[in-house]
Structure 1
Amino acid sequence: MATEETNPVAKSGRKRAATRADVAALAGVSAQTVSRVVNNRTNVDPNTRAEVLAAMSVLGYRPNTAARALVTGQFRMIGVISFDLSAYGNARTLESISTAARRAGYSINLMGVEASTEKAVQEAFHELTVQAVDGIVVVQAQLLDTPTLRLPYGVPVVIIAGDEHQRYPVVDTNQAEGARLAVAHLLDLGHRTVWHVAGPQDSPSARQRAETWHATLKAAGAPVPPVSYGDWTAASGYQVGLRLADEAELTAVFAANDQMALGVIRALHERGRQVPHDVSVVGFDDIPDSDSFLPPLTTVHQEFEQVGQECIASLLHQINHDQQTPPRAEVQPRLVVRDSTATPRA
């Protein structure tokens, strides 16, 4: 087992960077085995891998990524561009991408883009390619819905939510199915119609949820109330909720995310309208605290971990096979029914 007492670098008395030969000597394996571990190959016994990793830790060994890139043609680095790091869905998606990339032996270089302009996106792409990444993921790519934006060639790309023109591989939750489940649940409970608190109009996910809400009501022959828009925050849901509370015919609300649903519930409570006895409320995302709302929130659960896995799998397919994956991969959501929905009062 690798220990400091058997550290060949320490024994030499020299202050130098540890080499693969040092790691191999300390772990009692060949240099080729160390190379396989460093390059995250699968043909290494788990116990042997653990010994090599322990030796690397003791020696403070750092792989020469530049030299490895010359041999393999890969930097083991994935660039990620995100437009809104504060949004819950984006944060969970980034977490799932990072986890899936790490398991595949890749690191993440995150580039936050504040200005949603074509120039800002192109500059972010340029900066990431200069920093030597093997591929790039774009999260919530509103701007890719415009036909004028063209991303640089030569770097594998995967889009998470966006690119309605289908120019690049896309991985996303089936937003339409999630919205359909939410609206159908409320209609099946007996509500005459469902009001909608939508997300920002420049969000592809918000647009798909709003469009499906509208289409589901039309298909059921239900009246279509005017849509209200928020900005994903509970504060915006609260402001919309104050207005909706004055609607005498309001009995059901579908909010495009859980935070806005929380704001709606608070506003209804302050106006004396109980959830779900007077108004049923459904959210979207199934955030960790949604079961602790008062009442616990009925919501659409998104499989963020699976989105990250599909995203990295798509990107690695392009990196390793030099070809794009199918244009769209969808992860299916599910409805989680809790206490914020009920049949309407007679």
Structure 2
Amino acid sequence: MRALAMSDVAALAGVSHQTVSRVVNGHPNVAPHTRERVERAIAELGYRPNASARALVAGSTRTLGLVTVKINQYGPAQTMLGLEKAARAAGYSLTVSILDDATAAAMRAAVDTFVAQRVDGILALSTYDDAAAALATLDPPVPLVAVQVGGGEDRPAVGVDQETGARLAVRHLLALGHRTVHHVAGPADSQEARGRMAGWRSELESAGAPVPEVVLRGDWTPSSGYLAGKALAARIRGGEEVTAIFAANDQMALGLLAALHEGGIRVPEDVSVVGFDDLPEAPYFTPPLTTVRQDFAELGRRGVQLVLSRMRGEDQHPEPVAPALLVRSSTGPAPGRA
């Protein structure tokens, strides 16, 4: 049995090979009744166009490449889903390369592979410094857009406004009467983590609140939040005034809550806690977690819009996606202010 060809569809529909090609490739100059006859023949035969041949004719594979790092974390995973949904809505498929390590060499290799596969555009999702530095040195023959990492005039980017999100969290806690806010930060080589720390610090300084000298740092995991919580609980038991904590993500906040509970410290009666991301589980933490929500669907939509605009030769630099504060039961008035 030989593979079906356009000529088979043309013979059954009673049209030329060129007419079938126009229908398959979405050409507008085909009469409606002719298009219907060709589509009926395609369905009857079960014909599937050759993607490689279509790409040669159209000059496009209708495919975007996404290179990402550490997809086991909630933020990157949700961003990837948002990008895939937006790509599909725009008529593109999304090919994904997941890197084990956020290194410059791995990022360059993934981009080179996408170029060899003739994708129409590339999205790079990584907030880590090594991979971000690699992006700045790359000049592939197709548009390359950075997601959740700083861009520039030559490297357009989309992302959530991390600093504003952190400021919302700190402002909420200060408004509840807390004298200052302690911070459990993310990894030092993460641009997202640094953006949240910068927002935490700048909001405290703007309000004239003291900035704690000691900043505990985690790696985004609940276990690292738990260790930070144990350290903070010990300081509280030692008499230090710690009544409000901003954790750089919800997973670390989860570990933090567990450690505080084990240490006999009540949330929010003794200490208020705010996270970042709005995990689906966040409303079911004990207590339900006040957090900063990132709109990953909107981030994906803007990322795909940006790479498509670059494919059209347009020079766009979209505004960051605005975060939102969701207040739940893990925050309350400072002790003595209720």
Q: Give the TM-score band, short-chain normalised.
A: 0.7 to 0.9
CA shift, 1:36, in A, is 6.9
Taking only aligned residues, the RMSD between alpha carbons, in angstroms, comes to 3.1
Counterpart in 1 of 2:119?
Answer: 133
1:160 aligns with 2:147: yes
Counterpart in 1 of 2:56?
Answer: 70
CA–CA distance in structure 2, aligned partners of residues 102 and 27 of structure 1: 30
Answer whether contact 1:141 1:159 (CA < 8 A) is retained: no
CA–CA distance in structure 2, aligned partners of residues 259 and 22 of structure 1: 57
Partner of 1:82, secondary structure, is strand
User: Superposed, which structure 2 residues align to 1:40-189 within 5 Å?
Assistant: 59-142=45-128, 143=130, 145-146=132-133, 149-163=136-150, 165-189=152-176
| Most deviating of 140-149 and 120-129 | 140-149
Residue deviations 1:35-80 (CA, integer Å, cap 9, x gap): 6775568999xxx999998976775432222222222211111111
CA shift, 1:180, in A, is 0.8
CA shift, 1:133, in A, is 0.7
CA–CA distance in structure 2, aligned partners of residues 224 and 127 of structure 1: 46
CA–CA distance in structure 2, aligned partners of residues 43 and 253 of structure 1: 63
The residue type paired with residue 180 of structure 1 is R
Q: Is the alpha carbon distance of 1:294 and 1:64 closer, same or farther for their aligned partners in structure 2, counting shifts above 3 Å?
A: same
CA shift, 1:105, in A, is 1.5
CA shift, 1:161, in A, is 1.6
Counterpart in 2 of 1:336?
Answer: 326
Answer whether contact 2:181 2:246 (CA < 8 A) is retained: yes
Q: Which one of 230, 246, 249 corresponds to residue 234 of structure 2? A: 246
Partner of 1:138, secondary structure, is strand
| Most deviating of 179-188 and 51-60 | 51-60
Answer whether contact 2:115 2:140 (CA < 8 A) is retained: no
Q: Which one of 265, 271, 276 corresponds to residue 273 of structure 1? A: 265
CA–CA distance in structure 2, aligned partners of residues 166 and 276 of structure 1: 45
Answer whether contact 2:178 2:334 (CA < 8 A) is retained: yes
CA shift, 1:123, in A, is 1.3
User: Superposed, which structure 2 residues align to 1:222-233 within 5 Å?
Assistant: 222-225=209-212, 226-233=214-221
Partner of 1:137, secondary structure, is strand
The residue type paired with residue 312 of structure 1 is V
User: Superposed, which structure 2 residues align to 1:211-230 within 5 Å?
Assistant: 211-225=198-212, 226-230=214-218
CA shift, 1:290, in A, is 0.7
Counterpart in 2 of 1:234?
Answer: 222
Answer whether contact 2:126 2:132 (CA < 8 A) is retained: no
What TM-score comes out, normalization by structure 2 length? Answer: 0.87
Answer whether contact 1:296 1:340 (CA < 8 A) is retained: yes
> How many residues in Structure 1 have an aligned counterpart in Structure 2?
329
CA shift, 1:297, in A, is 0.7
Answer whether contact 2:151 2:157 (CA < 8 A) is retained: no
What TM-score comes out, normalization by structure 1 length? Answer: 0.85
CA–CA distance in structure 2, aligned partners of residues 140 and 240 of structure 1: 25
The residue type paired with residue 110 of structure 2 is A
Answer whether contact 1:196 1:256 (CA < 8 A) is retained: yes
CA–CA distance in structure 1, aligned partners of residues 324 and 331 of structure 2: 16
CA shift, 1:315, in A, is 0.8
CA shift, 1:221, in A, is 1.0
The residue type paired with residue 170 of structure 1 is A
Answer whether contact 1:282 1:341 (CA < 8 A) is retained: yes
Q: Is the alpha carbon distance of 1:37 and 1:75 closer, same or farther for their aligned partners in structure 2, counting shifts above 3 Å?
A: same
CA–CA distance in structure 1, aligned partners of residues 260 and 91 of structure 2: 49
Answer whether contact 2:145 2:307 (CA < 8 A) is retained: yes
Partner of 2:97, secondary structure, is strand
The residue type paired with residue 243 of structure 1 is A
Answer whether contact 1:125 1:152 (CA < 8 A) is retained: no
Residue deviations 1:210-263 (CA, integer Å, cap 9, x gap): 111011111111111121111111111001111011223111111111111111
Uncovered stretches (5+) of structure 2, i.e. residues with no partner = none
Q: Is the alpha carbon distance of 1:117 and 1:42 closer, same or farther for their aligned partners in structure 2, counting shifts above 3 Å?
A: farther
Counterpart in 2 of 1:314?
Answer: 306
Q: Is the alpha carbon distance of 1:183 and 1:35 closer, same or farther for their aligned partners in structure 2, counting shifts above 3 Å?
A: farther
CA–CA distance in structure 2, aligned partners of residues 272 and 27 of structure 1: 77
Partner of 2:170, secondary structure, is helix
Counterpart in 2 of 1:3?
Answer: none
CA–CA distance in structure 1, aligned partners of residues 242 and 307 of structure 2: 45
CA–CA distance in structure 2, aligned partners of residues 77 and 280 of structure 1: 46
Q: Is the alpha carbon distance of 1:37 and 1:148 closer, same or farther for their aligned partners in structure 2, counting shifts above 3 Å?
A: closer
CA–CA distance in structure 1, aligned partners of residues 72 and 25 of structure 2: 34
CA–CA distance in structure 2, aligned partners of residues 148 and 94 of structure 1: 18
